[in-house]
Amino acid sequence: MSMIEEPLYPIAVLIDELKNEDIQLRLNSIRRLSTIARALGEERTRKELIPFLSENNDDDDEVLLAMAEELGVFIPYVGGVEYANVLLPPLETLCTVEETCVRDKAVESLCRIGAQMREQDLVEYFIPLVKRLAAGEWFTARVSSCGLFHIAYPSAPEALKTELRAIYSQLCQDDMPMVRRSAATNLGKFAATVEAPHLKVDIMSMFDDLTQDDQDSVRLLAVEGCAALGKLLEPQDCVAHILPVIVNFSQDKSWRVRYMVANQLYELCEAVGPEPTRSELVPAYVRLLRDNEAEVRIAAAGKVTKFCRILNPELAIQHILPCVKELSTDSSQHVRSALASVIMGMAPVLGKDATIEQLLPIFLSLLKDEFPDVRLNIISKLDQVNQVIGIDLLSQSLLPAIVELAEDRHWRVRLAIIEYIPLLASQLGVGFFDDKLGALCMQWLKDKVYSIRDAAANNVKRLAEEFGPDWAMQHIVPQVLDMINNPHYLYRMTILHAISLLAPVMGSDITCSKLLPVVINASKDRVPNIKFNVAKVLQSLIPIVDQSVVEKTIRPCLVELSEDPDVDVRFFATRALESCNQVMMS
């Protein structure tokens, strides 16, 4: 075995710490369970370690969670697939604990193991386990069982299959809403393994039960099942069974159910085919786009592009576009924001003419929205429109929007627009950028808020990457270096930061000729914070510039700083000197 080289003592400690008082140590041991197993060997892992872990079921949830995860990949350590069944008992116990995340992980691991088990083992060990859990006294076991049927079912003999279907149907009618929710969540997965004749009868009747549940929370999940089930059924069955349900759901009393429908509807269109989509689903979707509840409109608006992609353009223009126009002036800013985040994607769907004629006015009105998120969402997806109609038509309105966002009084808004500047630059081209945006980028370096200055420094670097060193040499570097004379030390510090970011992009020559002198100069600053930042920057420049420059320029400067009266300056200077020495040695 490969383990012999590994020293024994650390493993002994690891094993002992499985029962340590300190939860961190226990967690650590559990995380390295595979090491322990390899040290013990396959047989002793089966006969000792696994039973030991089965006993360990009252540990803290964090430990149980880690254990559930580790056991999922444990088949190689117990001797391969033929012994996989020994892993089931500890995971079965974990399927019954109170903490949801532990149960979920245990179910996941059981599925992973079950998927590899041999068919006769599944029948002998796995299916009885599923049945035990499904009949569990506590709801926790029954909740877990729902997620295992799709693994158990395919290899079951015919009689057992009938039984499993009956059990699942029972779970769909459990007293506890948690169990019914779990049954609803997993129905799609289970249905995918059930044979077509039973699908139409047994599964559909379970589905019907769930769609009529008293609890909103169960019906919600049944909606999610619609699309999954729809894809399994023949189109005509889907139209006959699923379509009425979803149309019903789209008018459910509960807004949360309608919200789910709004999120799922486009998936169902594919399952039912074009004709029912036109006659049933488009009207349902239009209703949702005009729902009374803003949350539903948000969900519906967010799917507008996906929905349109499925429809043909005429249908989209005829039915959906009018709603989109309404939504662009919706009273809820969140609806407008959701719309703005996807509407640009409609351009490729509708084509050039329709985009210019119909969508462009909407883009422009959203670009003038009072709510910054809406404007930001439009700007962030600019590339999608650019491909269809080019940027020129938009650029007139774009600039005021960008400038306004750049000067927004909320720094988070300013931060967001900075993030998009490289994207804008690439879409708008150098010319546009030089004229309009360059000044903004410099202005951000002098922002009152640190995060903005930080992002601005990064932005300068990304621009240099985008347009190349030559352009940067002309349009960025001089302006940036100018600011090193700012009377406020915090702004000078930002420039130092920007220099350290720019240097790798600009390359050795420019760094030596332009950037380095500025940094060296700054080492004479009266503020210690600047001086120790100079030391840090110099350290970062060492790998970029020539060895001779290091010795001639950087080292003397650092030596001087290392004798500074300020302790921090000395500290960073000394550290930088050390890396100088390292570079020299290598």
By the criterion CB under 8 A, which residues form the site for other proteins?
A: 1, 3-4, 7-9, 11-13, 15-16, 18-19, 21, 39-41, 44, 47-49, 51-52, 55, 58, 60-61, 96-100, 138-140, 176-178, 181, 214-217, 252-257, 292-295
Minimum distance from residue 299 beta carbon to other proteins (Å): 11
Choice between 22 and 158, CB closer to other proteins: 22
Q: How many helices (H) and strands (E) does the chain have?
A: 44, 0
Burial category of 190 from C-beta neighbours within 10 Å (exposed 0-12, middle 13-18, buried 19 and up): buried
Read off the tokens for 425: 């630059």
Minimum distance from residue 95 beta carbon to other proteins (Å): 11
Choice between 61 and 578, CB closer to other proteins: 61
Length of the chain: 586
Query: Other CB atoms closer than 10 Å to residue 43's CB: what's the count?
Result: 11
Minimum distance from residue 305 beta carbon to other proteins (Å): 24
Q: Which amino acid belongs to residue 18?
A: L
Choice between 95 and 499, CB closer to other proteins: 95
CA 48 to chain centre: 40
Minimum distance from residue 168 beta carbon to other proteins (Å): 20
Are 386 and 355 in contact by the 8 Å Cβ rule? The answer is no
Minimum distance from residue 234 beta carbon to other proteins (Å): 34
Minimum distance from residue 102 beta carbon to other proteins (Å): 11
Choice between 254 and 562, CB closer to other proteins: 254
Closest CA to 475 of 439, 421, 513: 439
Torsion angles phi and psi, residue 280, rounded to 5:
-115, -50
Minimum distance from residue 335 beta carbon to other proteins (Å): 12
Minimum distance from residue 47 beta carbon to other proteins (Å): 5
> How many angstroms separate the CA atoms of 537 and 527, rounded?
16
Choice between 181 and 461, CB closer to other proteins: 181
Choice between 19 and 524, CB closer to other proteins: 19
Closest CA to 339 of 304, 369, 311: 304
Choice between 48 and 551, CB closer to other proteins: 48
Sign, Cα dihedral of 484, 489, 491, 494: positive
Choice between 77 and 363, CB closer to other proteins: 77
Choice between 255 and 471, CB closer to other proteins: 255
Are 219 and 211 in contact by the 8 Å Cβ rule? The answer is yes
Q: Which amino acid belongs to residue 149?
A: F
DSSP 3-state of 96:
coil
Burial category of 323 from C-beta neighbours within 10 Å (exposed 0-12, middle 13-18, buried 19 and up): buried
Are 78 and 50 in contact by the 8 Å Cβ rule? The answer is yes
Read off the tokens for 67: 């254990």
Residue located via tokens 């693994």:
151
Choice between 61 and 407, CB closer to other proteins: 61
b/e map of 67-97 (b: 16 or more CB within 10 Å)?
bbbbbbebbebbeeeebbbbbbebbbbbbbb
CA angle 46, 50, 52 (to 5 degrees): 125
Choice between 207 and 259, CB closer to other proteins: 259
Burial category of 449 from C-beta neighbours within 10 Å (exposed 0-12, middle 13-18, buried 19 and up): middle
Choice between 294 and 364, CB closer to other proteins: 294
Closest CA to 130 of 154, 101, 98, 102: 154
Roughly what angle, to the nearest 10 degrees, separates helices 528-541 and 489-506?
A: 0
Choice between 8 and 135, CB closer to other proteins: 8
DSSP 3-state of 564:
coil
Residue 357 is classified by DSSP as I
Choice between 86 and 456, CB closer to other proteins: 86
> How many angstroms separate the CA atoms of 305 and 437, rounded?
30
Minimum distance from residue 7 beta carbon to other proteins (Å): 5
> How many angstroms separate the CA atoms of 305 and 283, rounded?
16
Minimum distance from residue 52 beta carbon to other proteins (Å): 5
Minimum distance from residue 28 beta carbon to other proteins (Å): 15
Minimum distance from residue 48 beta carbon to other proteins (Å): 5
Are 535 and 575 in contact by the 8 Å Cβ rule? The answer is yes
Choice between 12 and 115, CB closer to other proteins: 12
Minimum distance from residue 534 beta carbon to other proteins (Å): 37
Minimum distance from residue 293 beta carbon to other proteins (Å): 5
Residue 293 is classified by DSSP as S
Q: Compute CA distances 331 → 260, 264, 283, whole Å.
A: 22, 24, 22
Minimum distance from residue 190 beta carbon to other proteins (Å): 22
Read off the tokens for 84: 């996989």
